[in-house]
Amino acid sequence: MALVDYGGSSSSASEDEELIESTHPPTMVALKRPALPTAAALLGPKKPKPEEFVEDVVDDPALHGGRIRSFKHERGNWATYVYVPATACVDQLEEFQTEAISNLSSDLELQPNESLHLSLSRTVVLQYHQIDEFSRSLQAALNSSAGFAATLKGLRIYTNEERTRTFIAAPLDAAFVEKMTAILQPIDQVMLDYRLQPFYDPASFHVSLLWCVGDQQTLLNSKLAELQELLEDQDTLPLAVNKVHLKSGNKDFAYILK
C-alpha cells in the first residue's frame, strides 16, 4: 500500500538526471555497431523508496473543519503520537457525542473526534527513516510496564496550545493517574532520547470527545453541567490499558503490556 498520509524526501537532482533519456539525434557511426542497451533497459526502471510515492501536500483548513496544523506539513515529516485506544467504552462515548452535538447545535458547531484515545505523548515529528528505530526503542522502554483496568470519569474542557481549537474530554479517573504515570515515564524518556518534547507537565490524562474551532472555553464551561447530565446517563466508562500504540503517519504499532 502506498504511503499516502505523509511524504518522504524527494529524490536528488542527480538521481532524476539518471532517468532522463537522451533527446540528441544519433551521430554517424563508422563501424555501425548497434547501440548498447541502457542501464534502465537492463535493470528496469529505478524503484522509488516508499516515501517517494507521496506528492507534496498543501494544507487547506477548509478541507478538515477549519483545523490548523500545529506544525507545517513538509515532505519527510511524519506526525507521530503515542496513545491508548478507548475501545472498551467506544459505543457509550459515541452515543454521548451524538447527544452533545444535538443539544448544543444552536450555540456552536461541535465536531466528533473520530479516533477516541487517551494520549501519552504530544504530537511530534519523525523522519521516515526514524520510525522503525523509534518503535523499537519504545517497545524496549515499555517492556516492563504493567497493564491495568481503569475508568474515565466526568468531563473537562481543554484548548490546544495555540488556542485555535477547544475540546470536550473525559478525564481518567484520579484513582488510576499514578499507574498511568508509571507507563508515561519510559515514553517520556524515549522522547528525550530522540530530542523530542516529553508530555505535558503536569500530565492531564483524558480522551478527547468533541471539538470546535477557536477558544470556546467560557461558553463550554457554562454548558458543562448540561453535558455532564448527558454523560451520567451512560454506565461506567471502562478503559482497558493493556496495549500502548504508536501512530506515525499511516503506520500503527502496538505494544502489549504485562
Q: Which residues are catalytic?
A: 117, 206
**CB-neighbour burial class of residue 112 (10 A; exposed 0-12, middle 13-18, buried 19+):** middle
**Torsion 250-152-94-240 (CA) sign:** positive
Three cell numbers written together for 20:
532522463
Strand partners of residue 85: 117
Preceding peptide of 45 cis, ω within 30°? no
For 243, other C-beta atoms within 10 Å of its C-beta total 15
* Angle in degrees, CA 170, 141, 251, rounded to 5: 65
- Cell numbers for 51, please give them: 516515501
